[in-house]
């Protein structure tokens, strides 16, 4: 092997490792999209809860108004009866009934006022929840746009690297490329590693004197006897 082939292979490896990273990032994008979308879900649930509480209060108020209407109708009926009664006693009894109804009406109307007071708060709750949902949706949209942009960049880089690596592969010995690609697809990490301080840069095992000798002679590709990765002396490429 020569320094040029080594440099070419290292460049190819650099491109391929970047390619692997990009691929992993692209695979993670749907999950990131889901997670971004889920961020507005709690705001949506908050708005639903606020609306439900408001509707329940409105129904309560309507029920109180219905009760008041009923009491007023009863009073009207008693008044009609009063015109028909013959004795003072019966008249007083009806007056008593009317007084009771009027008292009940006052109680219901007080209750209605109280409910009306809380209604305003509940309306404010709905408005606030709506505002929060709008903000959450806006933030989600911003992040989704960013994610789409990132995906475009990843795709562009991916395609660019694919072209570059084709050209690099064409320069290399096909047999070497085959071994390199086999390692890359099974291990998804570097196949060509530096030998540093007599240690393999891939598996970090101490290299044998024979391996170091072969490496220094630099006449052929020298594999690590432990992990099978190809070794190179960093001095070879700095020259």
* Residue 46 CB, nearest approach to Zn ion (Å): 56
Q: What is the total count of residues that contact Zn ion (CB under 5 A)?
A: 6
Instruction: Out of 1, 19, 20, 227, point to the residue binding Zn ion (CB under 5 A).
Output: 227
Q: Cα separation of 70 and 55, whole Å?
A: 22
Q: Which of 107, 67, 127, 126 is nearest to 59 (CA)?
A: 67
* Residue 224 CB, nearest approach to Zn ion (Å): 3
x-or-dash string of contact with Zn ion, 163-202, rule CB under 5 A: -------------------------------------x-x
Q: Cα separation of 87 and 76, whole Å?
A: 19
Burial class of residue 183 (count of CB atoms within 10 Å of its CB; 0-12, 13-18, 19+):
buried
Residues 49-88 that bind Zn ion (CB under 5 A): none
Handedness of CA 187, 193, 197, 200 (dihedral sign): positive
- List C-alpha distances in Å: 89 to 75, 86, 96, 103: 18, 9, 10, 21
**Of the two residues 136 and 231, which places its CB atom closer to Zn ion in the complex?**
231
* Residue 215 CB, nearest approach to Zn ion (Å): 12
Name the segment binding Zn ion (CB under 5 A); options: 11-19, 67-75, 143-151, 226-234: 226-234
**Of the two residues 54 and 224, which places its CB atom closer to Zn ion in the complex?**
224
Q: Cα separation of 175 and 177, whole Å?
A: 5
Q: Cα separation of 232 and 219, whole Å?
A: 11
**Of the two residues 128 and 206, which places its CB atom closer to Zn ion in the complex?**
206
Residue 224 within binding range of Zn ion, rule CB under 5 A: yes
Q: Cα separation of 218 and 106, whole Å?
A: 104
* Residue 202 CB, nearest approach to Zn ion (Å): 4
Instruction: Out of 144, 223, 226, 233, point to the residue binding Zn ion (CB under 5 A).
Output: 226
The separation between CA 209 and the C-alpha centre of its own chain, rounded to angstroms, equals 53
Token code pair at residue 2: 């020569």
x-or-dash string of contact with Zn ion, 200-219, rule CB under 5 A: x-xx----------------
* Residue 39 CB, nearest approach to Zn ion (Å): 45
Residues that bind Zn ion (CB under 5 A): 200, 202-203, 224, 226-227
């Amino acid at each position: 092997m020569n320094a040029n082939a080594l440099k070419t292979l290292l460049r190819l490896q650099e491109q391929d490792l970047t390619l692997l990273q990009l691929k992993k990032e692209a695979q993670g994008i749907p999950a990131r999209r889901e997670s971004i979308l889920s961020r507005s879900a709690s705001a949506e649930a908050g708005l639903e809860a606020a609306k439900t509480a408001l509707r329940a209060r409105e129904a309560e108020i309507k029920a109180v108004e219905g009760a008041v209407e009923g009491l007023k109708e009863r009073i009207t009926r008693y008044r009609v009866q009063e015109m028909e009664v013959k004795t003072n006693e019966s008249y007083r009894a009806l007056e008593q009934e009317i007084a009771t109804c009027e008292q009940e009406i006052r109680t219901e109307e007080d209750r209605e006022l109280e409910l009306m007071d809380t209604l305003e708060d509940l309306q404010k709750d709905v408005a606030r929840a709506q505002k929060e949902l709008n903000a959450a949706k806006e933030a989600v949209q911003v992040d989704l746009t960013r994610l789409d942009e990132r995906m475009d960049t990843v795709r562009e880089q991916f395609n660019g690297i694919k072209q570059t690596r084709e050209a690099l592969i064409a320069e290399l010995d096909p047999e070497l490329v085959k071994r390199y690609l086999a390692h890359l697809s099974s291990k998804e990490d570097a196949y060509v590693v530096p030998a540093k301080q007599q240690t393999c840069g891939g598996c970090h095992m101490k290299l044998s004197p024979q391996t170091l000798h072969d490496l220094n002679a630099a006449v052929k590709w020298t594999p690590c006897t432990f992990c099978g990765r190809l070794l190179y002396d960093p001095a070879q490429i700095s020259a």
